[in-house]
Chains A and B, each alone.
Chain A
């Protein structure tokens, strides 16, 4: 008997993406055993995405540039269709996936190259108060919002649902809304 010629889900996804993005660099990284973890590395207009797949586990999508070694996928999807939709969305929007793991406030501040003293000045607080915020286990949303805005970002609260869908939570934190 000959070998099965049925394409694996990740091979089908590869074909779909090659058709949709003919100028993209796309490489299928095959494991030694078919039952292993497969990777599909895609780069389009300087935007890299790593897609992983394994029988029984489904797909994983990662495009974040966070440091690390040996982590799992940033996002997971049950099938090729959902993965294709997400990858196309990421490429067209130029967005990056965000790992669901938490990051400490002090790490965010250091990534932005801002010292505690500088942030204290921006927040009109004492340096000791900034230190307390960074070590506190329960922080007010308004405090978080001010902290993140002061390092140049904006605060979003996300809900990650079991089916892989991520939704932004709308929270009325009492901040005055700009006039319409």
Chain B
């Protein structure tokens, strides 16, 4: 099986995540994101799953629980950091992925229909 390029895998990951039924809780959202990404990588690359690898092996991995960060003033939101992205998971199951410069590259509503919102006031 020929592996797909990383661009193709990211596009497929975000496509599948966007059409999946929304999650109802933060835990469901994290599981949805993790399962979707792991399936895409299993299907489209030959790189074995090795999440403990500290150095990149070319495979994309979902957020690690121990990479969670508090969001100031927001008990309803957790930020998961990787080297080039922040993934925000809301308690309603909403998901937002931003690059390290804050540019939103993906947003998905929770089961209540609401997207992750950031108050600026």
Binding site for B on A (CB under 8 A): 29-33, 35-37, 39, 41, 48, 50, 52, 54, 57-58, 60, 62, 66-76, 99-102, 104, 107
How many A-B residue pairs lie within 8 Å, measured between CB atoms? 99
- For the complex, what is the distance from the CA of A73 to the CA of B81, rounded to whole Å? 13
Contacts of B62 in A (CB 8 A): 70
- What is the minimal beta-carbon distance from A30 to any residue of chain B, in angstroms? 7
Q: Which of B64, B78, B97 has the most CB of A within 10 A?
A: B64
Q: In the complex, what residue of chain A is closest to B64 when comparing beta carbons?
A: A37
Does A68 lie within 8 Å of B10, measured CB to CB?
yes
Chain B contact patch, size range:
20 to 34
Does B81 lie within 8 Å of A29, measured CB to CB?
yes
Contacts of A104 in B (CB 8 A): 3, 5
- Main SS class of interface, A: loop
Does A31 lie within 8 Å of B56, measured CB to CB?
no
Does A72 lie within 8 Å of B53, measured CB to CB?
yes
- What is the minimal beta-carbon distance from B48 to any residue of chain A, in angstroms? 13
Contacts of A57 in B (CB 8 A): 54
Q: Give the contacts of B45-99 with A (CB-CB under 8 A).
A: 53-64, 66-70, 78, 81-85, 97
- What is the minimal beta-carbon distance from B78 to any residue of chain A, in angstroms? 8
- What is the minimal beta-carbon distance from A10 to any residue of chain B, in angstroms? 13
- B7 CB within 8 Å of chain A: yes
- What is the minimal beta-carbon distance from A73 to any residue of chain B, in angstroms? 6
Does B82 lie within 8 Å of A71, measured CB to CB?
yes
> What string of 1s and 0s marks CB contacts (under 8 Å) between B1-18 and chain A?
001011100100100000
- For the complex, what is the distance from the CA of A101 to the CA of B7, rounded to whole Å? 14
Contacts of B29 in A (CB 8 A): none
Does A39 lie within 8 Å of B56, measured CB to CB?
no
Given contacts A60-B54, A60-B55, contact A71 B67 (CB under 8 A): no
Does A68 lie within 8 Å of B84, measured CB to CB?
yes
Apart from A67-B7, A72-B57, A73-B83, what are 15 other A-B pairs with CB-CB below 8 Å?
A: A29-B81, A30-B69, A36-B66, A37-B67, A37-B81, A41-B100, A52-B83, A54-B54, A70-B37, A70-B60, A72-B83, A74-B56, A76-B54, A101-B58, A104-B3
Q: In the complex, what residue of chain A is closest to B105 when comparing beta carbons?
A: A69
- What is the minimal beta-carbon distance from A38 to any residue of chain B, in angstroms? 9
- For the complex, what is the distance from the CA of A67 to the CA of B56, rounded to whole Å? 13
- What is the minimal beta-carbon distance from B15 to any residue of chain A, in angstroms? 13
- For the complex, what is the distance from the CA of A69 to the CA of B100, rounded to whole Å? 11
Contacts of B61 in A (CB 8 A): 70-72
Q: Which of A72, A74, A100 has the most CB of B within 10 A?
A: A72
